[in-house]
Amino acid sequence: MTTTIGDRAVVLGGSMAGLLAARVLSEKFREVIVVERDPLPESATRRRGTPQDRHIHGLAARGQQVLDELFPGFTRDMQAQGVPVLDQLADARLYFSGHRLQQGTSGVTIVCASRPFLEAYVRTRVRALPAVTVLDCCNSVGLMTTDDRSRVVGARIFRRADGSTSEELEADLVVDATGRGSRLPVWLQDLGYEAPAEEKTPIRVGYATRIYSLASSALSPEHAVITAPTPQHPRGAGLSTLEGGRLLVTLMGILGDYPPTDPDGFLAFARSLQFPDVYDVIRDAEPLEDPVAARFPASTRHRYERLHAFPEGLLVTGDAVCSFNPIYGQGMTVAALDALAIRAHLEKNGRGRPQDYLRRIAKVIDIPWDMAAGGDLAYPGVEGIRTRKIRMGNAYIPRVAAAAEHNAAVGAAFLRVATMTRRPETLFSPAVSLRVLATALRLRTPFPRPMSHRFSSREPM
């Protein structure tokens, strides 16, 4: 039997992180109100607040598992609605660190839905929950607190549709899910709290995306192609089949090498990639729209878990805590794991001890952050501290990819880590590392020493 712990929770932000937070909050509160700035369509339509929704998205295998837990039948419904659900190694051509991974059955599933389609599905399921109300066209303008400012007791919102003045939504718990543009650091300072420290990895990645008719392409028999950029070839691409018989192609460039959005320039950029697969698929395909661009300046992490004080009745989730370089496809999955962290926190602590929750999600974020920030720091032009751990990882992963070119079991192990269903240290298991060593010896490439958990106290971690 579910035990409620409060009358009302308010979630600021109605994107994926906010919707998933609302889903778990509905288990513990009699009423959950989601406040969203954009008008929210009933169908799978792009919206202004998620400009990234035009580009390739990856729901990693761990994220798919969480969505199947929170919304039973999720994967089955995706397939029934025409979304390709693939084995990521068997059904795709994957190039990492300059190596094509040998194809084979991996058990690593990828759901090839567009972001608008996926978000519309989740929004429909959340709206159907009896406890949840969604208020769109509303700006979140601040927090309400007790007189001593030790507890948040609601949120101030502004309903744009009817031109009204701001109003107050009382709440037992407020969750900030407003994304990269979150004002929470400023709101905390206004309340007399310290703002969290911020870490950035300035990658300056640019996207350009175009949709094609799948029927006119030369993709068969695979359903996706990933050409990951490398320090030696800092251009890449992602190509994926979508619902509705469409083919989405996203080109990407690192450190300001942005792909163009004119049709001829787009095709020329695709032709310049290290491997010809994407160009060969689209050169004669029928485009359904013009290319569109996006820019992502830096991965950013707010270190809320290090604050000495934080108000009761307030949590934060998703990109408002940490936004990742989108190349790695981690954002939606981390948002899903954050939702599970909210659920676990409420089960253990109720509405209290927010700093316990902040430490909990820091542990959720640590591994994907290390993978993304460490991967970005493989590029010499990216500013940041390259610890021994990062240098070891950036030396070892290309050798894993080289071994995976000849051994599908190594490729499957790599993908399980990349999709967050296994921890990174599994890549150092004998089953993987011996194959990596054998490949390195055959290719006569230096092999890094095994990673140690002990480091010199004089060297930064």
Is the same domain home to 248 and 145?
no
Distance CA 392, CA 187 (A): 39
Final residue of a structural domain among 238, 261, 296: 296
User: Domain check: are 45 and 128 in the same one?
Assistant: yes
Query: What's the pLDDT score for residue 346?
Result: 96
Task: Quote the distance between the C-alpha of residue 58 and its chain's center.
Answer: 8
Q: How far apart are CA 228 and CA 99, in angstroms?
A: 10
Domain count, the chain: 3
Domain end among 240, 265, 296: 296
Which range of residues forms the domain containing residue 238?
74-115+202-296
pLDDT in tens, 134-188: 999 899 999 999 999 999 999 999 987 666 678 899 999 999 999 999 999 999 9
**Assigned domain for 380 exists:** no
The answer on 39 and 132 residing in a single domain is yes
Q: What is the CATH number of the domain that holds 240?
A: 3.30.9.100
11 and 104 assigned to the same domain:
no
425, part of any domain: yes
- CATH number, domain at 41? 3.50.50.60
Q: Is residue 248 part of a domain?
A: yes
Same domain, 97 and 223: yes
Residues 292/209, Cβ–Cβ less than 8 Å: yes
Residues 99 and 174 in one domain: no
More confident of the two residues 452 and 32: 32
Do residues 315 and 357 touch, judged by C-beta distance below 8 A? Answer: yes
Annotate 175-201 with DSSP letters as a single string. EE--GGG--HHHHHHHTTPPPPEEEEE
Are 167 and 192 in the same domain? yes
* Cα angle, residue 391 at apex, residues 388 and 394 outer, rounded to 5°: 150
Task: Give domain status of residue 351, yes or no.
Answer: yes
Q: 450 in a domain, yes or no?
A: no
Residue 174 belongs to a domain: yes
- Reported as a single tens digit per residue, the pLDDT across 264-288 is 999 999 999 999 999 999 999 999 9
The CA distance from 133 to 31, in Å, is 8
pLDDT, tens digit, for every residue of 370-379?
999 999 999 9
Domain shared by 282 and 206, yes or no: yes
Pairs from 122-130 (Cβ < 8 Å, separation ≥ 24): 122/16, 122/19, 122/20, 122/67, 122/71, 123/14, 123/19, 123/40, 124/42, 125/23, 125/71, 126/19, 126/22, 126/23, 126/26, 126/34, 129/22, 129/23, 129/26, 129/32
* Residue-by-residue DSSP string for 295-319: EE--EEEEEGGG-S---BTEEE-GG
Same domain, residue pair 100 and 121: no
Q: Which three-class secondary structure state does DSSP give residue 365? A: helix
CA distance 364 to 340: 10
Q: How far apart are CA 137 and CA 135, in angstroms?
A: 7
pTM of the model: 0.92
The predicted-structure confidence for 322-331, as pLDDT tens digits, reads as follows 999 999 989 9
